[in-house]
Structure 1
Amino acid sequence: MAELTYDDFKNRINIQDLLVDAGYQLNRRDGLRYPSYVRMDSNGKRVRGDKFIVTGNGLCCFQPPEVKNYNVISFIKEHPHLFSEYTPGMNADRLVNLVCNRLLNNPIPERPSIVADRERAQRVFDINDYDRLNFRLNDWDSQKAFYPYFKSRGIKLDTQRDFHNNFFIAIREGKNGKQYANLSFPMQKPSNLGTYVGLEERSRANAEGKTLYKGMAAGTNATEGMWIANLSGEPLDQAKHVYWFESAFDAMAYYQIQKEQLVDTIGGYEDMQSEGSYKGAEEIREFKQELYDLENAVFVSTGGNPSIHQFKGMFAETNHAKHYIGFDRDIAGRTFAINFALTRADKSFYSHIGENGKLVVVDAQNSKNNQEIDLHDFRFEDALKKLGIESVGERPAITDYMKTLRNPDDIFSGDTDYLPYSISSIYGKYETLSEEYHVATTSGYRLCEEDLKTIKENAQSQFDKYREELTKAANEYRERPGQIVYSPCDESYKDWNDQLLDKKMYTNEDIIETAIDGTDGEYREIKDDFEDNQKKEKSEEDSEEHKHHFRR
C-alpha cells in the first residue's frame, strides 16, 4: 500500500472522529449547527473550560476563548499527550503518522533504519544563511528596530537590555525574492553553548497587536536545542537557579514581573527604614539577594512542547541548580510539569491521557504499575507524592520539621519535636534556661540581680545560637541541590506573558462576542467562568485592604 500523505490524512479523517479518539464527546446541549466536543471527568460531569468547537466547514476545530483553528495534523501536533501513541520526546511527524494510520486502519511497520536515514537527511540549520540585526546597548538606533516585536508583548526596554545578548532580528531572502525579518531567539545544546542549532522565531505584530507567525527556523534541532539565556555569563555548571518556560516571551515576562515586584518591595522597606518607623535591614538584605539571584539566573525556553532530551541535556549541565517550572497553566503545561519531575527523578516512564481525562503515567519497567493524575483539579506537590517523588536530591535532616511549619515564612512556627538532634539539643538547652529564668522571676524566692542577669544572658545566648543554626538549616533546605519549584502564572491567566499583559482567560468582550456568534451553551459557560473570576478578584481586593505589609 502506498504511503499516505498529510493531504490524505486531512481529506480522509473527520476532525470530529479525531476529537472522539482524543477522549472528547459530542455536547448535544449546544446543538448540531456548530458541533462542540467536551471532556467528562471520572464522575461523568463536564470538565469546565475543556471544549472544542468544530468550525463551519467541518474541517477544523478551535478551543474558546482562543480562536485558533486546528486541522487534523495541527491538532495532533499541538496536543500530543491526548493520544496513546505519544511518548515524551517523540517526533511530532511520527506521532501524526501513527495516529492517522491507526484511524484509517492502515497498519504501518516499524522501519527504524528508514526513519534514521530520513532524520540524517534532514536539512541542517546554518546561522550563516541569515543576516543579523543585533540589539546593542549603546546604540539607540539598533534598539528602535526591536520596538514592533516587543511592544505588543509588554516587554519593556529595561528587560530587553537585560536579555540583549539572547535575541536578534534574523533576516533572510525567500524563494519569491522577498525578505523576511523575524525576532529570533537562538537555540543551543546545553553541552555545546555558542553553536546555534536553530531559532525560535516570532514575526512583528499586526495592527491588532497579534503575532502572525511563530515557529522554528528551517532545520532547527528542537529535540535537543533550546533557548538558553544565562544572565550571569558563568559556566552552566555554576548555575544556582534555572527557570523553564515554553517560550522566550514567557521567560522575559516572568523576569520583568518578578524584578519589578522585588524593586518595589525593597524601595518600600527602605522608605520605612529612612522614616525610622521600621527596622527592616534583614528583610532588605533578603530581597536584594533574591533580586541578585534573579538577575544572574538561567532562563530556558523549550520552544513549545518540551522533549526528554531537552530536560536531560540541561540537567546534565546544571545538576546542583534549583529548577523552577513556569510552563503554561493549560492541560499540556501541567503534563509537561509532570514529565519534567519524572525525568528529574530519573524515572523510566511513558504517559497518555486516559478516557476519564486524567494523565496516566505508566512505569516503563512494570506496565502494571501506573498512576492517574487529575490535570484539572491539579496540585503539583500532591501529584509528586502520588508518583513517589517526594523530593529530588538528598533529603536534608531538617525536612520533617520544615513540613510542620504553620507559617511557611516563619521558621520558628514548626513542631520542635521534629527538629534534627543537632538543633534539638541546642533548643533544649535554651528551653531549660528560659524556664529557669521564668521560675526565678515569678516564684516567691528572688535571686540577686547578678544571678538573674546571668541566667537571662545565658538563655539569650543559647537562643541566638538556636536561631543561627535553624536559619542556616532552613536556608539549606530551601536551596537544596536539584530542588524543583512549580511556578506557573496566576490562575486567571494561561501563561506568564498573558499575565504581564493582564490578558485574562475570559473578558467581557469574550462574553459579548460569544453571545452574538456562538451557541447559548458556550455563552453560559464563559459567562459563568467570567463571573466566578470577578467574584474571586473582588474577594482578593477586599482581603488586601486588611493587609499592612509588603507583598513579595
Structure 2
Amino acid sequence: MEKRDPKHDDILQRLDIREVLIEAGYQQNRRFGLRLPSYVRLDGEGKRIRGDKFVVTQDGKRCFRPPRKREYNAVSFIREHPQFFPEYCEGMDTDDLVELVSGRLLPPPAGELRELTVEPPDREVRPFDIMDYEVHRFDPKKRATQKKFYPYFTYRGIDLRTQAAFHRNFCLATRKRDDGVRYTRLSFPMVLPKEEGKIVGFEERERARADGSSSYEGNAQGSDMDEGVWIASPAGTPLAEAKHVYWFESACDAMAYYQLHRERNRELDKAVFVSTGYFPTTKQMRGVLERTVPARQHICFDRSTAWHDSAWRLQQEICRTVREAIVETPERKPYLDSIPDGQDLTEGEFYLLPKGGLQESCIRFDSEWEEAMSMRSSGLCAPEDVQDQINTMNRCYREYREKLREFLGIDREHDVDFTREEPDYRHKSWNGQLLAEQRREESVGQQQEREESAEEERQTRLGR
C-alpha cells in the first residue's frame, strides 16, 4: 500500500505529473497520440531509449510504464525515482526529497509569502571558491562526458555542435550544502577581464523545462557580480585580440545567437562572446572595453525596455572609453568640452571645429543628411533617387569622420565602432527565437511526413 503523508496532499493537488516527468529528464513523445500523452527519454545522440516510457492517465494525475503494472502520482514518482532529481543524495529520506523538489517547482502558498519575504539575517557571504565544487566538463571527443549535459541543453534547443564550440566555457558544478543536500547546476565560469584565468563566480542554470525555461536562473553564492563576466570564444581568441565582441545578458543567449547565425557568419568562431549575467555594471563594461577598444562591439541584449536602457548605457561607456583616450590640446579642448557626456564624437558644437576643411565637411554632411531624410519621408521621390542621396550622405559622413579623427588624433581602429542587434521582433530573447525556429522546422517536417504518408496511401490504393 502506498505510503501516505497528510503534508503531501497539497503537493498532489498543485503539482502536475507532466511537470515532474519533464524535470526527471523525460520529454513528450508527440507521435504517440494526443488522448494519452507519453513521455520518453533520449540518449546522448538524441535517440529514444527503447522501453523507457511513461504514459499519463486520462485524468492527467498519474502515469504508468507500459505494460500497465503500477501507477505513480507526482509524489510517488519522486519517491521511487529519486536518482532523476538534482536534490537527491545517497541515503536521503525520500519524503525530504519530495518536499525539496516540490518546493523548487511550486510557488509558495499565499500564507507563506510574508515569511519568505522577510529580510534574511545579516551574515558574511564567503567569496566564491571553485574548490567548493565538483566539476564535470564536456569533452567533444568523449561521448560519455557529454550525456550528463543533455537535460540542461536539449530543451533550450542548443545542439551538440554548439556545445562543442563552447565546451571550454561551461561545466556541471556540484556542491554539497551545509544540510548535506547535493545539487548540480549548469555553470558558466565568470572571470575578470584583466585576469581571464581567474574564476570569480558561476552564472548558473538548472535543467531546462520543455518550453526552454528554467526553475532557477542566477549566480553562485559569493560570485563577483560587480566585475566578473563570462568570456568565451569558440576559436579561443583572447579578449585583447578580439576583432568582434558580442554582448549578452546570459551565456545561454550567447550560445543560442551563435547557433542561429553560425552558418551565415563564419567569422563567429573567432569572435569573443561576453555575458554580464544580469544588467551590466559599469565595472563589467569598463573592464571589457578597456581591453577591446579596437574591436567592433555588438550589443545583443534582449528586447525588453530594461535591456534597451542597458544597451544605451553600454553605448555611452563605449563613447566615454574612446573620448578618454584622446589627448587634449588647447586646439581640441573647446570642441571636446562641448560633447555631452557619453555621446559620440560628432555631437560637439560644429563651430568649435577648425575652419579650412573640417568645419565645412561637417556642414556638408548635415546638409546632405537633411536632404536624404526629406526625400525619404516625402514619398514623392523614386526609390533609386532616394538611395543615390543616401549614398551621397554616407560618402560625406565618411569624409567628415576621417577629418574629425585626424583633428582629434585617433586612428580608425580606435574610433567608436558598435552595432545594436536584437532578436526577431516576435521574440524577447535569442534563446526564445532559437526554440521558436526549431518548433517551426519541426512543424514543417511533420506536415511533410503527413503529406508523404497520404501520397503513399493513395499510390497503394491506385496500385490495388
- Counting only pairs closer than 5 Å after superposition, residues 1-400 of structure 1 correspond to structure 2 as 57=110, 122-206=125-209, 210-260=213-263, 262=264, 290-292=265-267, 294-346=268-320, 389-390=343-344, 400=365
Q: Say whether 1:499 aligns with 2:443.
A: no
Once residues 73 and 243 of structure 1 are traced to their aligned partners in structure 2, the CA distance between those partners, rounded to angstroms, is 39
SS at match of 1:222: coil
SS at match of 2:262: helix
Once residues 162 and 220 of structure 1 are traced to their aligned partners in structure 2, the CA distance between those partners, rounded to angstroms, is 25
What is the match of residue 15 of structure 2? none
Residue identity in the other structure for 1:496: W
Once residues 134 and 299 of structure 1 are traced to their aligned partners in structure 2, the CA distance between those partners, rounded to angstroms, is 19
Residue identity in the other structure for 1:495: S
Asked whether the equivalents of residues 299 and 419 of structure 2 are also in contact (C-alpha less than 8 Å), the reply is yes
Asked whether the equivalents of residues 151 and 208 of structure 2 are also in contact (C-alpha less than 8 Å), the reply is yes
Once residues 212 and 260 of structure 2 are traced to their aligned partners in structure 1, the CA distance between those partners, rounded to angstroms, is 21
Q: 1:163 to 1:422 in 2, by over 3 A?
A: closer
What is the match of residue 356 of structure 1? none
Identity within the alignment, % = 39
What is the match of residue 487 of structure 1? 421
Once residues 138 and 387 of structure 1 are traced to their aligned partners in structure 2, the CA distance between those partners, rounded to angstroms, is 50
Displacement of 1:412 in angstroms is 7.0
Asked whether the equivalents of residues 345 and 392 of structure 1 are also in contact (C-alpha less than 8 Å), the reply is no
1:243-285 deviation per Cα after TM superposition (whole angstroms, max 9, x unaligned): 111100111111111113x1xxxxxxxxxxxxxxxxxxxxxxx
Displacement of 1:209 in angstroms is 5.3
SS at match of 2:246: strand
Displacement of 1:196 in angstroms is 0.2
TM-score for the superposition, normalised by structure 1: 0.44
Once residues 197 and 204 of structure 1 are traced to their aligned partners in structure 2, the CA distance between those partners, rounded to angstroms, is 23
Once residues 299 and 188 of structure 1 are traced to their aligned partners in structure 2, the CA distance between those partners, rounded to angstroms, is 13
Displacement of 1:332 in angstroms is 1.0
Residue identity in the other structure for 2:216: Y
What is the match of residue 32 of structure 1? none
Q: 1:416 to 1:235 in 2, by over 3 A?
A: same
Q: 1:128 to 1:146 in 2, by over 3 A?
A: same
Once residues 198 and 308 of structure 1 are traced to their aligned partners in structure 2, the CA distance between those partners, rounded to angstroms, is 18
Displacement of 1:343 in angstroms is 1.9
SS at match of 1:148: helix
Q: 1:496 to 1:169 in 2, by over 3 A?
A: same
Residue identity in the other structure for 1:214: E
Asked whether the equivalents of residues 130 and 172 of structure 1 are also in contact (C-alpha less than 8 Å), the reply is yes
Displacement of 1:420 in angstroms is 5.8
Aligned-residue Cα RMSD (Å) equals 4.3
Q: 1:204 to 1:180 in 2, by over 3 A?
A: same
Displacement of 1:481 in angstroms is 4.1
1:179-217 deviation per Cα after TM superposition (whole angstroms, max 9, x unaligned): 211110000010001110000011113467541222111
Once residues 73 and 499 of structure 1 are traced to their aligned partners in structure 2, the CA distance between those partners, rounded to angstroms, is 37
Count of aligned positions: 280
Structure 1 gap segments, 5+ residues each:
1-54, 61-70, 75-92, 94-114, 263-289, 348-384, 425-476, 505-552
Q: 1:400 to 1:144 in 2, by over 3 A?
A: farther
Asked whether the equivalents of residues 246 and 303 of structure 1 are also in contact (C-alpha less than 8 Å), the reply is yes
Q: 1:155 to 1:291 in 2, by over 3 A?
A: same
Residue identity in the other structure for 1:222: M
Once residues 231 and 298 of structure 2 are traced to their aligned partners in structure 1, the CA distance between those partners, rounded to angstroms, is 14
Q: 1:214 to 1:421 in 2, by over 3 A?
A: closer
Once residues 390 and 485 of structure 1 are traced to their aligned partners in structure 2, the CA distance between those partners, rounded to angstroms, is 13
Displacement of 1:176 in angstroms is 2.6
Residue identity in the other structure for 1:488: E
Q: 1:152 to 1:421 in 2, by over 3 A?
A: closer
- Counting only pairs closer than 5 Å after superposition, residues 398-417 of structure 1 correspond to structure 2 as 400=365, 414-416=390-392
Asked whether the equivalents of residues 132 and 168 of structure 1 are also in contact (C-alpha less than 8 Å), the reply is yes
Displacement of 1:493 in angstroms is 1.2
Displacement of 1:297 in angstroms is 0.5
What is the match of residue 44 of structure 1? none
Once residues 216 and 249 of structure 2 are traced to their aligned partners in structure 1, the CA distance between those partners, rounded to angstroms, is 16
Asked whether the equivalents of residues 235 and 269 of structure 2 are also in contact (C-alpha less than 8 Å), the reply is yes
1:447-469 deviation per Cα after TM superposition (whole angstroms, max 9, x unaligned): xxxxxxxxxxxxxxxxxxxxxxx
Residue identity in the other structure for 1:291: R
Asked whether the equivalents of residues 237 and 272 of structure 2 are also in contact (C-alpha less than 8 Å), the reply is no
Residue identity in the other structure for 1:314: V
Once residues 143 and 192 of structure 1 are traced to their aligned partners in structure 2, the CA distance between those partners, rounded to angstroms, is 28
SS at match of 2:436: coil
SS at match of 1:201: strand
Displacement of 1:234 in angstroms is 3.4
Once residues 241 and 73 of structure 1 are traced to their aligned partners in structure 2, the CA distance between those partners, rounded to angstroms, is 45
Once residues 227 and 209 of structure 2 are traced to their aligned partners in structure 1, the CA distance between those partners, rounded to angstroms, is 32
Once residues 157 and 197 of structure 2 are traced to their aligned partners in structure 1, the CA distance between those partners, rounded to angstroms, is 29
Q: 1:418 to 1:152 in 2, by over 3 A?
A: closer
Displacement of 1:345 in angstroms is 1.9
Asked whether the equivalents of residues 393 and 482 of structure 1 are also in contact (C-alpha less than 8 Å), the reply is no
Asked whether the equivalents of residues 344 and 392 of structure 1 are also in contact (C-alpha less than 8 Å), the reply is no
Q: 1:423 to 1:190 in 2, by over 3 A?
A: closer
Q: 1:329 to 1:391 in 2, by over 3 A?
A: farther
Asked whether the equivalents of residues 136 and 142 of structure 1 are also in contact (C-alpha less than 8 Å), the reply is yes
